[in-house]
Amino acid sequence: MNYAVPASAIPTVPVEGGGEFPVHRIYCVGRNYAEHAREMGSDPDREDPFFFLKPADTVVLTGATIPYPTMTKLVHHEIELVVCLGKGGRDVKVEDAESLIYGYAVGIDLTRRDLQNEAKKTGRPWDMGKGFDQSAPIGNIVPASKVKLNPKAEIWITVNGQTKQKSDISKLIWSVPETISYLSRFVELAPGDLIYSGTPEGVNSLVAGDVIVGHVDGVPDLHLTIAK
């Protein structure tokens, strides 16, 4: 291909046991645990979950140290189970959704909460609050063929050894297959898509120097440090 400017590399995430997962799109579910919806001032019984995106090249791999994000005074962690698609589709039935899944990872939906709050207030897009550089830390991917996720798998995050969020994935309002099915009605899903499935309650701020561990039972831990 005779590109007119240098082409960007395809972002990838390591797979446990070898190989690299090429990232296509990053979808995030906005509201998928009842207690988190409540802490953000919403009524989980009345409002459907919704989706937003981060650019594919916002992934940050486990073990990384990243700078504190720019243009913000309030960065929040949101620990999430990430579903990694090996197949695509549109209008996928709930009962067929699991066949699209390649594997799972632990992710953090890093959020510039002050910018997101301002965007909510003014009716502006969330992109600069959610889709900024290095906003999608992700651990290594475990193939679904190698792990059977416990339906009550614990999900937690520690910051400097202190537990900040802790829940289990049975508390997802929309299950993973339901989320895939619903999302596939809005967009055609593709191999390489990541779905950050939403965060439980307890989102909190991060500061320079924080040492973070993210965990979902059965999935490789995510290690992240915010530079001093």
190 burial (CB, 10 Å; 0-12 / 13-18 / 19+) is: middle
Residue selected from 78, 84, 100, 182 as contacting Mn ion according to rule CB under 5 A? 78
Q: Does the footprint of Mn ion cover residue 199 (CB under 5 A)?
A: yes
Q: Does the footprint of Mn ion cover residue 203 (CB under 5 A)?
A: no
User: Among 18-26, 75-83, 92-100, 156-164, which window interacts with Mn ion (CB under 5 A)?
Assistant: 75-83
Residue 93 CB, shortest distance to Mn ion, in Å, is 26
Q: Using CA atoms, how far apart are residues 120 and 205, in angstroms rounded to an integer?
A: 19
Question: In this structure, are residues 134 and 69 in contact, taking their beta carbons and an 8 Å threshold?
Answer: yes
Q: Using CA atoms, how far apart are residues 26 and 196, in angstroms rounded to an integer?
A: 7
Q: Does the footprint of Mn ion cover residue 36 (CB under 5 A)?
A: no
User: Among 19-27, 95-103, 170-178, 191-199, which window interacts with Mn ion (CB under 5 A)?
Assistant: 191-199
131 vs 177 by CB, closer to Mn ion: 131
Site for Mn ion in 99-118 (CB under 5 A): 109
Residue nearest to Mn ion (CB): 109
Q: Which region, left, alpha or beta, applies to residue 161 given φ > 0 means left and ψ of -120 to 50 means alpha?
A: left
Q: Count residues contacting Mn ion (CB under 5 A)?
A: 3
Q: Which residues on neighbouring strands pair with residue 219, listed in sequence order?
A: 216
Residue 70 DSSP label: S
Residues that bind Mn ion (CB under 5 A): 78, 109, 199
